[in-house]
Chain A
Amino acid sequence: MAIADIWWVMLIGAAAIFLLVMGLVLAGLASRAAPSDEGERGTPVWIWGLGLAFPMVTLAALTGYGLMIGERLLPRAAPDLVTVEAEARQWAWTFRYADDPALRTEDVLHIPAGRPVDVRITSRDVVHSFWVPQLAGKLDAIPGRVNVLRIEAATPGTYAGQSAEFSGTGYAGHVFSVEAHDPAAWAAFLQGGAP
């Protein structure tokens, strides 16, 4: 997944920078024999080079890369889009389905696999957060607001979900799961024959 790519790029880059900086610090300690220099001769290298140019170039590259990935993750109009509603409360989730307004599930969200799904997230009481790490990043459930998160499960299966905003004493157990169905099972679920 794209976000995992970003993580590996950043981890390797950060590790390299960390080693570089630590190397420079240790080399600074090693130069003990040299006579002390009271001047400012090092300014071009240390301030202009390493202090200004180095982070600016690195950060410009990283920010550009991040924005590009972010752009790719933006929800696009899709013909086979499925819309569901997720309403959080202390400490449970209620899911409703645009395909059948009478349908309602608690703590288990059913979606079709291989199709984009818009989750309309809101809260009935305090701030919560909808997070299914394998499917997408998190998005807050805020009372009085509806936030839309696009998720898509590539393969059928069960995906663990977690509320990710502190919400009081029941917070630790505030979990849910996402059930991604193949087309036949999804049709069966919408018929009321939920597995």
Chain B
Amino acid sequence: MTASSEAANQGPAERTAERPDQRPDQRPDQRADQTPAQRAAALRLHRALMPIWSSDQRFRGWLTTSNNNDIGTLFLIVATSFFLIGGILAMLIRAQLATPGSAFLAPEVYNQVFTMHGTVMMFLFAIPFFEAMAVLLLPGMLGTRDMAFPRLGAYGLWVYMFGGSAVIIAMLMGLAPDGGWFMYPPLSSAAFSPGIGPDVWLLGITSIEVSAISAAIEVIVTVLRYRAAGMSLARMPIFAWFILIVAVMILTAFPPMILGSLLLEVERAFDWPFFQVENGGDPLLWQHLFWLFGHPEVYIIFLPAAGMIATVLPVMAQTNLLGYGWVVAAAVSLAVLSFGLWVHHMFTTGIPHMGLAFFSAASTLVAVPTAVMIFSWIGTLWKGQVRLELPMLWLLGFFATFVIGGLTGVMLAVVPFNWQVHDTHFVVAHLHYVLIGGYVFPMIAAVSHGDPGE
């Protein structure tokens, strides 16, 4: 990727201070009128500062580093390992489901495996993986030395590692959560899940959300305050727009989930009434809080990948993106809309009919900004000359798979149809089309585009 190689040219383990007293867009561009003497002085300064700002070169450096390239690489490696773990879990699920009534996995084990597959893929892979891409690429794309808060980035990484490994270790000990990745109470309440599984889940997931929120704050400040001189918002590389929008979404969507997790943990630990009917709670409260996070989460995952498509696809087509402003506007409206349709995950819970009609219409509406993006990309293909290289092949896979995912999504928004297919493999298929086609394929395209061997 052009941006990553740019960042790499600054030296892999070098961290240099952004001058905090000057806004980047006010910094005069001195390069053109520098005298040779000035350049020599700048180089001397650079060499003197290198040891100060470099990460520790010893192994210890990997633990203490706060450089965005190191943090991003570590993030990427850890997220990819969790992706592999999630993939192995998926294979166990498929092996069990290959024949009816198979004795391959006992129900207790299978429930842990399918809960962990969803949890690992959603929380331990998808979110951290795009955070890794953002931390790795943003400074290079924006023309700044590092992210705004390098230590916050390091904090996010280690909180994520802690939460992620806690969940995986619990699974290896056979104590994994087994109430589904959506953890609906009362099944996940103390009465029906007395083990520590749900506690581990709540701890791990909350850690990962704290990590995501710290990354979001870093991204917002970096994009808004640390751009190179002369780079207005409207001239940013489009990935920066997508990741900025996603960061704002994370700040809005994750607090309800953290709140829900806290309530559930307090209920489990101290028997406070939030979700248990006997004590005056309501199990639907969890579903609202969970999906108020869970639906925007889908777009939080999709938009960074869309940003990658909008970055890589014009390169493959050897032209510029058609309708940059339209694509940004579509991403913003997708972000806003995504907060108004979480109830489509609850169409079978006995919601009043007026509510059903509203959330059904809102759910179909998200197809409009998505269509704007898709057709802007196809239009880009049309006006350019497409090179059928590896990243482009992955993008073709994205088009085919994601369009099916989108169309099945529109079907699911139609309430009477939803009543039949809700909680069936139709939904499982839909969400895998969306996530594999809309997230995994574009991300592989992005990685293979940035691969120096490519």
Contact = CB atoms under 8 A, between A and B. Distances in A.
Interface of A: 2-3, 6-7, 10, 14, 17-18, 21-22, 24-25, 27-29, 31-43, 45-47, 50-52, 54-56, 59, 62-63, 65-67, 69-70, 73-74, 90, 125-127, 129, 133, 136-140, 142-145, 147, 164-172
B410 A129 contact: no
Given A25-B378, A59-B364, A142 B319 contact: no
A92 B349 CA distance: 19
B399 interface: yes
Interface string B118-161: 00000000000000000000000000000000000000000000
Contacts of A25: 378, 381, 396, 399
Interface in B308-323: 317-320, 322-323
B368 A52 contact: yes
Nearest to B398: A25
B330 to A, nearest CB: 8
Contacts of A38: 319-320
Contacts of A56: 368
Nearest to B192: A126
Contacts of B365: 59
Nearest to A66: B414
A133 B326 contact: no
Contact of A22 (B111, B187, B376, B400): B400
Size bracket, chain B contacts: 35 or more
Given A74-B353, A138-B423, A169-B107, A69 B416 contact: yes
B283 interface: yes
B376 A51 contact: yes
Contacts of B256: none
A45 B376 CA distance: 10
A90 B186 CA distance: 12
Interface in B391-423: 396, 399-400, 403-404, 407-408, 410-411, 413-420, 422-423
B180 interface: yes
Contacts of B415: 66-67, 70
Contact of B416 (A3, A21, A27): A3
23 contacts: A3-B420, A6-B417, A10-B417, A33-B385, A37-B384, A42-B322, A43-B379, A46-B382, A51-B374, A56-B368, A59-B364, A63-B360, A70-B416, A126-B184, A126-B192, A127-B186, A127-B187, A127-B283, A138-B419, A139-B350, A140-B350, A144-B282, A169-B108
A47 B326 contact: yes
Given A29-B388, A36-B384, A66 B360 contact: yes
Given A142-B349, A171-B107, 10 more contacts: A43-B323, A51-B368, A67-B357, A126-B186, A137-B419, A138-B422, A140-B348, A140-B350, A142-B284, A168-B111
Contacts of A21: 374, 378, 399, 403
Contacts of A50: 371, 375, 378
Nearest to A144: B277
Nearest to A33: B385
Contacts of A39: 383
B424 interface: yes
B407 A17 contact: yes
Contacts of B379: 42-43, 45-47
Contacts of B404: 14, 18
B344 to A, nearest CB: 12
B416 A2 contact: yes
A28 to B, nearest CB: 3
Contact of B348 (A62, A73, A138, A170): A138
B411 A125 contact: no
Contacts of A40: 322-323
A42 to B, nearest CB: 4
Contacts of B284: 142, 145
Nearest to A26: B396
B233 interface: no
B337 interface: no
Contacts of A136: 419
A36 B319 contact: yes
A40 B422 CA distance: 42
A129 B348 contact: yes
B408 A14 contact: yes
A159 B412 CA distance: 25
Given A3-B420, A18-B403, A168-B192, A51 B371 contact: yes
A10 B426 CA distance: 14
B166 interface: no
B372 A51 contact: yes
A2 to B, nearest CB: 7
Contact of B372 (A18, A52, A125): A52
Given A25-B399, A62-B410, A164-B423, A125 B350 contact: no
B411 A14 contact: yes
